[in-house]
Amino acid sequence: MLRYFSLLSLFICTAISSLAYGDSCCCMDLCQSLELGVGWRRDSLTWKVKDMRSSYISAVCDSSIDFKDIESYVGYGLAKWVGEEFYIKLYGEYGLSQKGRAEEHFFIDSSILSHDIRVETDHRIKRRSEVYDVDLAFGYPITFCHCRGYFVPMIGCCFHRMHLVVKGPRHSSSSSSSSSFDSSDFTKYDGKWYYNGESVDSSFFYPTSYFDSSDFIVSPSNPFASFQESDPFSRPWESNIEIASALGLSIDRRSDTQRFTFYGPFVAVEAAYALDCKWTLQGEAKANFLNNCHRKRKSWTGVYFVDDYHHRGWAYGFDGMVSCTYMLDTCWYFTGTTQYKWWKAHSKRDEIHWQSVECELGMGYRF
């Protein structure tokens, strides 16, 4: 992503610099403006979680998900209020994804397993997954070169969210073994579940309120069931199979959702320079510190402490922006922008690395 951002920034700077001529240009005045536009962005995010544990049973799970090539079309709005001693900037963006993939490497081990289970999945990210950003900044404008340029040191707060929906395939079978299964063989007596008169430990998956649902049915070949009806490992597992299928659960087609929210303060510097009466080159560098990252998973693996996993921790990141503006007359202007984001959230067992590159075209009005 950094390579794309560098190439786009270099192209814009070269093109705009070639249009500059002489020293005769109009003074660039700081003023109020409103800008609307559209754009395209590409995101990638890696989420690794280790040692997810259950409070009901001795088990440990690891998960590593790579969200790759998430392409989205976005719309944005930018408003600025400027005075001699103040500068206020409000930016908002909303986008819908068009493509992307999610690859997960899943590992689970427990004392009641004959051996650990490793599952790899590769699913498409559903179209119209959402991305949205909001920035609010306050600064003090400083001009130079007789108002031909300015820079503004700023402080502010930001909010970034990605709501990704991962589409899973439909399964026609609940088990990879050849044993027969009839859900009517399950009975409940005195708060416990039984299969053909034998007790079944369902606490690993969901509490009783979840287990009552027909969405999840424990198969006789389930490796976590307390009975030994059949050997769930009698056949080798395929390289790409569903986690829930590997655990012997019968489910209809489900869509997993993962939500990532970054928010907190930042410090930034914005600068601009008028190349001539028409063209202006702008840039911004932003450092995000003491931010929070809240990640939340709602999936259908069948392991409840994985499916409902959520965590909040510290995050930090760096944003960069380069844009150029062309004045149509004294009020209206066109602008083109490239942006790059690099964020990281890291705790003892949970790590996220997010990168994003974006191109925008907009039209604005100066008051």
Q: Provide, for the chain, the percentages of residues in helix, strand and coil under a 3-state DSSP scheme, each rounded to the nearest 5.
A: 10, 60, 30
Summarize pLDDT for 54-66 with one digit per residue, the tens: 766 677 899 999 9
Note down the domain range covering 217. 183-250
Give me the DSSP letters along 164-183.
EEEEPPP-S-S-SS-----G
Helix (H, G, I), strand (E, B), or coil: what is residue 333? strand
Asked if residue 325 belongs to a domain, the reply is no
Asked if residue 62 belongs to a domain, the reply is yes
Neighbours of 259 (CB within 10 A): 16
Calpha distance 365→163 (Å, rounded): 32
Residue 114 confidence (pLDDT):
63
Summarize pLDDT for 177-217 with one digit per residue, the tens: 333 334 444 455 665 555 455 555 544 443 333 333 344 44
DSSP one-letter code for 85 = S
CB of 264 within 8 A of CB of 157?
A: yes
Residue 306 confidence (pLDDT):
87
Asked if residue 197 belongs to a domain, the reply is yes
Asked if residue 309 belongs to a domain, the reply is no
Calpha distance 280→277 (Å, rounded): 8
Do 258 and 243 reside in the same domain of the chain?
no
Contacts of 101 (CB under 8 A, 6+ apart): 67, 68, 69, 122, 123, 124, 125
Do 209 and 147 reside in the same domain of the chain?
no
Pick the closest to residue 245 from 225, 213, 221, 269 (CA basis).
221
Who has greater pLDDT, 11 or 149? 149
Who has greater pLDDT, 247 or 358? 358
Query: Could you give the C-alpha distances from 240 to 45, 106, 165, 202, 204, in angstroms and in order?
Result: 21, 11, 19, 26, 24
Asked if residue 95 belongs to a domain, the reply is yes
Q: Residue 12, Cα to own-chain centre: how many angstroms?
A: 28
Do 202 and 228 reside in the same domain of the chain?
yes
Do 164 and 202 reside in the same domain of the chain?
no
Residue 161 confidence (pLDDT):
97
Asked if residue 313 belongs to a domain, the reply is no
pTM of the complete model: 0.76
Contacts of 221 (CB under 8 A, 6+ apart): 175, 176, 177, 179, 181, 229, 230, 231, 232, 248
Query: Could you give the C-alpha distances from 207 to 183, 210, 255, 355, in angstroms and in order?
Result: 18, 5, 21, 37
Do 96 and 204 reside in the same domain of the chain?
no
DSSP H helices, the chain, are 2-19, 208-211, 243-246, 304-307
